[in-house]
Amino acid sequence: MSLSKTDPALHGQPLRDTGATLLTLGGLTAAFGVASCCGLPFLLAMSGVSSAWLGGIALLAAPHRPLLLWVGALCLAAAAALFWRRSAAVCIPGAVCSKPAVRGLTAIGLVAGLALLTIGYLYA
């Protein structure tokens, strides 16, 4: 028996977390750009990792820092909303649901993006 997207048994069930994953990646990228000028090099230097390679990224991202901050915050907020909405539903047997590894990586990406945005905002 094949279940389709229009099957009434799948109504309201999550099929994939593609939207949440893509928004998380976009927010994480924007947050990395925001934090690359000030907070991230300091944090990496404190942990003993070289941060000289961030100089080029910081030069490109610095003029667009306020825009990147807003884009990162909006992407991460939308991804968190989608992620929370999808996790509230239960997947029925036989449906195409997201893999636990993808859900875990998305959750880790959301937390990392929030941390980078916070570091970029506070250490500017």
* pLDDT tens-digit profile, the chain (124 residues): 444 444 444 455 444 668 888 999 999 999 888 888 877 887 788 888 887 787 888 888 888 888 989 999 999 999 999 888 876 666 666 555 667 788 888 899 999 999 989 988 887 6
Q: What are residue 99's phi and psi, to 5 degrees? A: -75, 150
Q: Token pair of 19, please? A: 């939207």
**Which of 30, 12, 11 has the alpha carbon at shortest distance from 79?**
30
Three-state DSSP at 91 gives coil
pLDDT of the residue at 26: 92
CA contacts within 13 A on the Cβ side of 1: 6
Which DSSP state fits 23? H
Residues in the chain: 124
pLDDT of the residue at 51: 78
Three-state DSSP at 14 gives coil
Which DSSP state fits 6? T
